[in-house]
Amino acid sequence: MTVTSAPPRGATDPPAGRGSRPAGGRRRDWRMAAEIAGFTAPALLLFGVFVVWPILRAVQFSLFRWNGFGPLVDFVGLQNYVAVLSDDVFTGAVGHNLIIVVASILIQLPLGLAIALLLNRRMRGQGVLRTIIFVPYVLSEVIAGVVWFQLLQPGRGVIEAMLGTVGLEGPFQGFLGTPSLALPTLVVVLTWKYVGLAVLLFLAGLQGVPEELAEAAQIDGASWWQTQWRVTIPLLGPTIRMWAFLSMIGSLQLFDMVWILTGGGPANATTTMATFLVNEGTKRQNYGIAAAASVVLFVIALVMAVLYQRFVLRRDTADADVPRGVR
């Protein structure tokens, strides 16, 4: 009679850490994946329907000569792109957009920063002043455009009436009707409209600046302006760079205010890429040209956004990735 001993406990079990995971862990993974899919699916669906699909359709339309009616049958390849890029009106529109980008940053940045620094100080009526400065940004572009269009009417507008009280006279065709003055006038209106956003963002950024740093600088003998220049403004760098990015993208896509004030005129002096493609599509029924212009606008905005992210916003993301104790 032979007696066989039982194998040691755990001798036939798979090694720990290898093989299949416990059933409870797998269920938790599947549950987490289902939750992520459930929360992201609606957003991805909306993004695909309202962003990706229109872009693909615009690319498709840009390859055809199409007047907006009937099927797409007249395939022309890249001829629409050649026509757009060789059009003096479109190339001028690109230049106008770039001028607006640069002018918006050079004017609104110092102006908004100065107003934000002043409003950050304790003063009477601070809330009222903040509201007055931010109200233009809240107004609809249509309302603001109609108001400024009426103010700038030649001969009977409020602006020319105010100039007449001090002995000055406006241009014969008005500020919006004179080609050399239309674009600068548009920049002034855009500054009035959007400087409130810069002030709001800068004020929000100022709330994150520690007061101890300003107090230490004042103890060392720094004046208020020196404290702002040496301490406060450098700490506002991430906020300033993010606002400049938003201003750049908004200036490239500018349409509403231009369309209401000038319609791109006079003599295409204020035409932007957006007004060009809308004019080609709605008035001239050249939907293939309009689609090609929209694709070019998309590519220009995408390239500028990627370059800005790569060379300007990189420092902010790099600082965020560095552990706090390593800095």
pLDDT digits (tens, 9 = 90+) for 286-324: 899 999 999 999 999 999 999 998 888 887 766 555 544
With bands split at pLDDT 50, 70 and 90, how would you rate the model's confidence at 249?
A: very high
Average the pLDDT over each of 88-102, 168-182, 220-234, 292-306 and give the range with the smallest value.
Answer: 220-234
Domain ranges of the chain: 88-270
Q: Name which residue leads in pLDDT, 156 or 207.
A: 207
92 closest CA partner among 298, 217, 270: 270
Average the pLDDT over each of 58-62, 91-95, 128-132, 254-258 and give the range with the smallest value.
Answer: 128-132
For residue 75, report the phi and psi dihedrals to the nearest 5 degrees.
Answer: -75, 125
With bands split at pLDDT 50, 70 and 90, how would you rate the model's confidence at 254?
A: very high
252 closest CA partner among 290, 303, 181: 303
For residues 35 and 197, give the distance between their C-alpha atoms in angstroms, rounded to a whole number: 36
What confidence score (pLDDT) does residue 324 get? 46
What confidence score (pLDDT) does residue 160 get? 83
What confidence score (pLDDT) does residue 218 get? 79
What confidence score (pLDDT) does residue 228 get? 82
This prediction's pTM: 0.82
202 closest CA partner among 228, 230, 226: 228
Average pLDDT over residues 41-59: 91
CATH architecture for the domain at 88-270 = Orthogonal Bundle (1.10)
Exposure string of 162-200, with b = 16+ CB inside 10 Å and e = fewer, is: eeeeeeeebeeebbbbbeebbbebbbebbbebbbbbbbb
Structure tokens at 223: 């004046």
pLDDT reading at 215 higher than 70: yes
pLDDT reading at 85 higher than 90: yes
For residues 148 and 214, give the distance between their C-alpha atoms in angstroms, rounded to a whole number: 41
Q: How big is the CA angle at 265 (ends 263 and 268), to the nearest 5 degrees? A: 120
Average pLDDT over the chain, rounded to whole?
A: 85
Share of the chain above pLDDT 70, in %: 89
Give strand pairing partners of 64.
Answer: 75
Q: Name which residue leads in pLDDT, 212 or 25.
A: 212
pLDDT digits (tens, 9 = 90+) for 146-183: 999 999 988 777 888 888 888 788 888 888 998 999 99
pLDDT reading at 325 higher than 60: no
Structure tokens at 305: 């956004």
With bands split at pLDDT 50, 70 and 90, how would you rate the model's confidence at 4?
A: low
What confidence score (pLDDT) does residue 302 get? 93
Average pLDDT over residues 139-149: 91
Q: How many CB atoms lie within 10 A of CB 311?
A: 9
Q: How many CB atoms lie within 10 A of CB 153?
A: 17
Residues contacting 120, CB < 8 A, separation 6+: 203, 206
What confidence score (pLDDT) does residue 326 get? 45
What confidence score (pLDDT) does residue 22 get? 65
What confidence score (pLDDT) does residue 25 get? 67
With bands split at pLDDT 50, 70 and 90, how would you rate the model's confidence at 89?
A: very high
What confidence score (pLDDT) does residue 119 get? 86
With bands split at pLDDT 50, 70 and 90, how would you rate the model's confidence at 193?
A: very high
Q: Name which residue leads in pLDDT, 122 or 108.
A: 108
